[in-house]
Amino acid sequence: MYVYADVVITINFVMNSIILLLTAYGAGISFRWQRIFFAAMVSSIYSLGSIWKEVLFFYTAPAKLVASLVIIIIAFGKKPVKVLCVLWCAFFLVSFILGGAVIGWLYFLQTSALSVLSESKSIVTEFGSLSWQHLAVGGSMGIGLITLLVKQLLARIYRKQTLYQVTVNYNGMETNINGLVDTGNSLFSVSGHNPVVLASYQSILGILSHSVASFLQNHDPDTWISEIYTCEDEAWLSRIEPVPYVSVGKCSMLLGFRPDKISIATENGIISTSKVVIGIYAGTFSKDIECDALLHPALINRMNSEKGEDICA
């Protein structure tokens, strides 16, 4: 049996580079191309050594675990133990998915019997020769699967880290909504210069009176302010605060009102304030995440500075 060292090194270099790049992507770690390619070359040379029986000890399962850790350190440098563990797990996850994708593609193409009985009565699977085309197609499928999987996982992690549970209280009623911190939200009320939380009107209908809900539903959002005199809820009208805003090509006013208070659940505890205005938004914020409101960053900044104390004066 002939083994072409250049072919073995080339194939392993390409696949190891892809695995390390996907590992960095999956773990959210920055990297240097030079270190990635150097680590891939070292890993390729390590793979070539398996053809010599004298060094088979270095290719046992425990030895491969150590070798993979060394490759990760070469590729990404010294990291905290927790980060190394994440990289280590991501490395093997990516390797298994890529390997499984290539094997799955070969199974898909195979038309003859896949299993034969060896002399030891065990089942042996035969794929025939592994061509560059098979490797490219199977690898591409694996890369697509990993990218999709990592994207979904990161999206879930992002939602958990950035979404806040917000409780809005008004007139003895309360509603719970999901709020996302919007760094682009720079809206403040004219009276009192209070931060504005944009909330979809569907999410706050439950705390509004029947007359207010009917007014919002039966009027075009562009006429909410100009037709506000037709609303019969005088108590709510006393809480109204139009909020000026600038969008692309125009200046306009947003209908807002002062709630009794809002409470935001954070890792430091429940933060409450009455110094806020709820801006009523007619549309939806995102189809990808369950977001009902855009929180003003000033609210979160106060939370971080006061460590769980009430931010209302």
The residues assigned a catalytic role are 182
Dist. CA 196–CA 178, nearest whole Å: 15
Which residue type does 123 have?
I
Among 297, 189, 186, 281, which Cα is nearest to 243's?
A: 189
Residues sharing a CB contact under 8 Å with residue 105, sequence separation 6 or more, in sequence order: 134, 137, 138, 141
Identify whether the C-beta of residue 261 lies closer than 8 Å to the C-beta of residue 312.
yes
* 150 backbone dihedrals φ, ψ, rounded to 5°: -65, -40
Q: State how far the Cα of 189 lies from the Cα of 87, in Å rounded to an integer.
A: 47
Determine the residue type at 20.
L
The CA distance from 180 to 198, in Å, is 10
Q: Which residues pair with 176 in a beta bridge?
A: 167
Beta-carbon contacts of residue 165 (< 8 Å; ≥ 6 apart): 176, 178, 179, 264, 265
